[in-house]
Amino acid sequence: MRIVPTTWAAPFLARVIGSTDYKGSGTNHQISDINPFVLLDEAAIITNRNVPKFGLHPHSGVMVLTICLSGSVENVYIDRNGKEVKSVHGPGPFLLAVNSGRGVVHDEHTFSEDPCKLLQLAWMTGDDESGAEICHVAEPLILNEGDGTDIMLCAGTFRQKESGIVCSQNPSITVLIVTLPPGGAFQTDEFCGGNAFVYNMNYENQRGPLSVNNAQVPASHVVDMEQHSGQLKITNEGTNVVSVLIGHGEPINPKWNKLLMFNGFIFAKSEEDAEKKQDEFRQVGITGFGQRRYS
């Protein structure tokens, strides 16, 4: 188990997990991945429309989960007929997931000037052949503990409850947001095997401290637990309410290769396969990439 400070990517963005691709494009981070997780961003409160301004961009071989805690988001994607489809979701909290399969072109951004709080988590699926899927959960399931601790199910299954967001290629993926009152504790032994992380959130408030398995964890730090034994205990030792994001999943072995392209990123078994995806996008553009099927 190691405890790593968050990398500040911009004044409004905490880049928790991120990496360069095999060509060196992108930015270096202290945690390049916690296999299968390859990206985690936490944004400060956003009060402008159309943020971030990435525009339509491609993905393949990866699943991207957006957790909107407040505010609204417009989701845009290109359907299998090459048509642009738009939908507005909110107010939060809600969940929006894109499982890219062999290829998807999409965009998502804030829809209004109402305060919007977002986190985004992405993981390798080990699949670049299936059709893409887009899933929305308007009201995430929240489990209430007896001491005032709340557990929001963001992906997978926990305590025999389903979140509504499932990674079909890797059902072990579980994502939770646990909100702890002062002195509150969360404990589980469900995360057996695989890799896990715990991220001490509250970007603006810098709250803490926490202890994870009896180790002190300052605010805006991430705990990297590879081949986790399954026992996880988190205690809020401070005087403020604190939220943590927890992710667990079986790794992809061997790890797939990452390629940044046209404001998006793809994952492929080999560098050659990644180059083929890039060539495909150049040839068919946003209307044909991946020959998408949605369900």
Domain 2-284 has CATH 3.40.50.720: no
Q: What is the mean pLDDT of the chain?
A: 91
pLDDT at residue 115 is higher than 80: yes
Centre a 10 Å sphere on the Cβ of residue 151 and count the other Cβ atoms it contains.
21
Confirm if 2 and 136 have CB atoms less than 8 A apart.
no
Binning pLDDT at 50, 70 and 90, where does residue 192 land? Answer: confident
Binning pLDDT at 50, 70 and 90, where does residue 227 land? Answer: low
pLDDT at residue 67 is higher than 70: yes
Coil, helix or strand for 284? helix
Q: For the residues 144-173, what does the mean pLDDT come to?
A: 95
Task: Dump pLDDT digits (tens) for 22-51.
Answer: 999 888 888 989 999 999 999 888 999 988
Cα separation, 201 vs 246, whole angstroms? 10
Cα separation, 257 vs 3, whole angstroms? 26
Name the residue with tokens 């890039």.
Answer: 278
User: Would you state the pLDDT for residue 205?
Assistant: 66
Domain extents for the chain? 2-284
User: Would you state the pLDDT for residue 293?
Assistant: 44
User: Would you state the pLDDT for residue 295?
Assistant: 40
pTM, full prediction: 0.94
Name the residue with tokens 């646990």.
Answer: 178
Confirm if 63 and 125 have CB atoms less than 8 A apart.
yes
User: Would you state the pLDDT for residue 294?
Assistant: 44
Task: Dump pLDDT digits (tens) for 84-96.
Answer: 999 999 999 999 9
User: Would you state the pLDDT for residue 111?
Assistant: 95
User: Would you state the pLDDT for residue 28?
Assistant: 80
Q: For the residues 206-233, what does the mean pLDDT come to?
A: 84
Sheet hosting strand 232-236, strand order edge to edge: 185-188, 232-236, 210-212, 215-217
Q: For the residues 14-19, what does the mean pLDDT come to?
A: 89
Task: Dump pLDDT digits (tens) for 236-295.
Answer: 998 889 999 999 999 999 999 999 999 899 999 999 999 999 999 999 999 999 874 444
Percent of the chain with pLDDT over 90: 72
List Cβ neighbours of 260 (8 Å cut-off, separation of 6 or more): 21, 23, 25, 26
User: Would you state the pLDDT for residue 220?
Assistant: 84
Binning pLDDT at 50, 70 and 90, where does residue 231 land? Answer: confident
Cα separation, 253 vs 248, whole angstroms? 16
pLDDT at residue 64 is higher than 90: yes
User: Would you state the pLDDT for residue 180?
Assistant: 94
pLDDT at residue 187 is higher than 90: yes
pLDDT at residue 203 is higher than 70: no
Closest among 86, 77, 57 to 292, alpha carbons compared: 77
Backbone φ and ψ for 159, nearest 5 degrees, come out as 50, 40
Binning pLDDT at 50, 70 and 90, where does residue 230 land? Answer: confident
Lowest-confidence segment of 63-72, 228-237, 278-287 by average pLDDT: 228-237
Binning pLDDT at 50, 70 and 90, where does residue 7 land? Answer: confident
Percent of the chain with pLDDT over 70: 96
